[in-house]
Amino acid sequence: MKKIFFSFLLLCIVNSSIAQEIGQIWGCRTQIDASTKLHTIPELRLGTVDTSPKIISIFVHILRRNDGTGGLTNNQVDNWVTHFRNDYIGHNIIILEIGRANLNNTTFYNGITDVNYSTLINTNTHGNAIDIYLLAPDDDYSRASNIPGIALCVGGSYVGTSVLSHEFGHCLGLFHTHSGRGCNDFANCSEAINGSNCKTCGDLVCDTPADPCLAGLVNTSCVYIGGGGFNPDVNNIMSYAPPSCLTRFTQGQIERMHHTILTNNTVFGTRRIFLSGPNTLCSSSGSYTLTPPPLGTIYWTLSSYNAVSVTSSGNPTTVSAGSVSGNVTLSAHIGSTGGTVIATKTITLCPAVISGPSSVCYDGSSFSLSPPPTSSTTWTLTGPFSFSNASTITSTTGYTVTVYRTGSSNAGGTLSAVGAVAPVTITPCTPPTIVGTTNYIRYTGNDFSLSNVPLVPTNFYWTVSDPSRFTLVRLYYNAVMIYLTEASENDPCPITIYAHSGSVNSPVVDSLVVYTNPASFDGPSSIPCYIGKDYYLNGGSMWHDIYWTISNPNAFTITHPYGTNNYAIVTLNYPIYVSSTLKAYYNGPLGTILIASKTINMSRGGSMTSYYSVYPNPVSDLLYIEIDRQAFLDAMLSSENLRTNIDPTFDVRLYDFQSNLLRQATSKGGTVQFNVANLLAGIYYLHIYDGISEKPETMQIVVK
């Protein structure tokens, strides 16, 4: 692997004894895009920048050969990322890894140079993270994409050192401490040794001393040996001191990085990890999420646990609010609940209020305190209301309570609870009303109920105006099922449903006029051979407890293609010359009831008749059409107004559903065969023209 050395630095090494003391020489290749230089940021006075915790997401790419071999081990990467994270975490810059993947590319693995660097950092990029590319173990090329930047690469030869932190510092807006002084970094002007121009030259940070470029000027004991009047910081991560010496940032550098994160939305708008969730909790709970989700377990704490709780780990977490009001702080930690805080959010808790409907009916309405109290409370009522009805008594000490309307007064009242901000005003509902899902009654039965009454047995009685034709089920309840059990020649006709307050002789609470809806078949009275016809059961049901029958069942097929029993296709399988009866039955709670019938005859027009035989159907290869010429002549000669000297020629055609002619043959009689093996599976149509009739005989053919 090619090694990058600075030859002009080696000239400073005048003898081998000094060379043996010099620490590792290295350098990064980060270049500055003049359009994004940070000279224009305002002067940063120490202590004026928000240095509260900020989370930056990273995605790690590990370079390997095409076959997946080579490269750093995951254990090496884990240790290096931990070292890198520790360089920043003490300065409230939290590095969270949101993903890791191998980048199998032998070209990249064999060496990154200035030529292929741009291609590398534009490979498998992530808009929500800074992409970090860890190069082959013997590669020493290291570079950030820009200052600030969205990607960086580090040679695997620097594994475990702060060179990764150095390149990441560039991404966060830091220059080299020797910027403008040499080592191919002339992004800025040179900083004077006394630091007099520190605000405009060098690294633009005034608490970093002037630096001549430390490559080759620091020994293995991390001591500067370059002279020249300089007193550089040999431990500064943004210097070219040996990687083993790089351990720290200055406060000015720290504040510059925080300022960059806060103000450069182009780079960090989507690469910061944010804690999102509701600012206010007025319900029982809220969900809070770190986005994008970091790797590893996140732990959560609250500044107060007085009637407030939080899921201790995971992402997202749930905060459940109790009866207290005020503010509480939610904190996210890494490592444990006592670990480093990486994000916080202040949550405002709403005061407890009574929630529930404004109107209360006989069946009761629920009211609750929100947020719910952690201890018992006391509810009180005024007006024509009660906490109980004939069968239910609700507790008046919990955070929920049920209130029932009582009596006939329409005056309003109030509901109060200890701990609530204010009582609520409630009004009684309107009297009971009969409601139903339909305005008719069928054999299958229809539901009717009284609104605004308890859903428990109460003193209501149900009757109808013509009891001889109906059966009522579930009497003495606030709901009833009514069945039509006998048809009338006057159907559909009106019927009145009555609800009584006590018994059959008690006053009527409400009444409702509905109509009978007996069942009937909608479909043709005659059907041709082999052709299915649609029949609908009007007034029936889609329930599966309705079934159909037909006399002469061997001659007919009844299918329900859509899985519902109010629709069927009836097919005549062969000629039959007697009438058949189609019937529908309902098998319900009252037993089996015949609800509809219809007489069906065979139709000769427009379908295959007894002098044509077509088989097999469905068909997969050869379709046979047998034409009984003599039977046809007999049928024609027996008809009125026909000539006696007819000589038919039968024209047999097969069409697809788009009326495309696919097969054709003519015959004086006998057997015609069509090979359909190469046709697509589906529905086709057979037409037979006899040259005499105006319309052809037709039949539906199924090719499988």
Residue pLDDT, tens place only, 490-534: 777 888 988 876 567 766 778 888 887 777 788 888 777 666 788
Assess whether pLDDT exceeds 60 at residue 557: yes
pLDDT of residue 609: 57
What CATH number labels 612-703? 2.60.40.10
What size, in residues, is the chain? 704
pLDDT of residue 546: 78
Interval 234-273: pLDDT, tens: 999 999 999 999 999 999 999 999 999 888 877 777 677 7
Q: Is 29 exposed, middle or buried (0-12, 13-18, 19+ CB in 10 A)?
A: middle
pLDDT grade for 450, boundaries at 50, 70 and 90: confident
DSSP H or E segment with residue 674: strand 670-675
Classify domain 277-349 by CATH architecture: Sandwich (2.60)
- Average predicted confidence (pLDDT) for the chain: 81
User: Higher confidence at residue 631 or residue 64?
Assistant: 64
Within 452-544, strands assigned E span 461-464, 470-473, 479-484, 494-500, 508-516, 520-522, 526-528, 532-538
pLDDT grade for 13, boundaries at 50, 70 and 90: very low
Provide the terminal-to-terminal Cα distance of the chain, rounded to the nearest Å: 67
Q: Under a CB-based contact definition with an 8 Å cutoff, are residues 448 and 482 in contact?
A: yes
Interval 92-134: pLDDT, tens: 898 888 899 999 999 999 999 999 999 999 999 998 899 999 9
pLDDT of residue 558: 87
DSSP 286-342: EEEEEESPPSS-EEEEES--SSEEE-SBSSSEEEEE-S--EEEEEEEEESSTTSEEE
Paired with 484 in beta bridges are 470
pLDDT of residue 590: 63
- Please state, in angstroms and rounded to a whole number, the distance separating the CA atoms of residues 36 and 264: 10
- Please state, in angstroms and rounded to a whole number, the distance separating the CA atoms of residues 171 and 87: 15
Question: What would the two tokens of residue 458 be?
Answer: 């109460």
Assess whether pLDDT exceeds 60 at residue 639: no
pLDDT grade for 278, boundaries at 50, 70 and 90: confident
pLDDT grade for 552, boundaries at 50, 70 and 90: confident
Which CATH number is correct for 353-428, 2.60.40, 1.20.1280, 1.10.3470, 2.30.30? 2.60.40
Relative orientation angle of helices 163-171 and 74-89, to the nearest 10 degrees:
60
pLDDT of residue 15: 39
CATH class of the domain defined by 433-516: mainly beta
Q: Under a CB-based contact definition with an 8 Å cutoff, are residues 71 and 136 in contact?
A: yes
Q: Would you list the domain boundaries of the chain? A: 49-265, 277-349, 353-428, 433-516, 520-603, 612-703
Collapsed DSSP state (helix, strand, coil) of residue 117: helix
Question: What would the two tokens of residue 682 be?
Answer: 């589906």
Interval 20-31: pLDDT, tens: 488 789 989 887
CATH superfamily of 49-265: Collagenase (Catalytic Domain) (3.40.390.10)
pLDDT of residue 121: 95
Assess whether pLDDT exceeds 60 at residue 408: no
- Please state, in angstroms and rounded to a whole number, the distance separating the CA atoms of residues 573 and 626: 17
What CATH number labels 520-603? 2.60.40.60
Paired with 591 in beta bridges are 588
Rank 259-273, 383-397, 477-491, 670-684 by mean pLDDT and report only the highest. 670-684
pLDDT of residue 391: 45
- Please determine whether the domains at 520-603 and 612-703 fall in the same fold group of CATH: yes
Q: Is 631 exposed, middle or buried (0-12, 13-18, 19+ CB in 10 A)?
A: middle
Q: Under a CB-based contact definition with an 8 Å cutoff, are residues 623 and 701 in contact?
A: yes
Handedness of CA 661, 665, 668, 670 (dihedral sign): negative
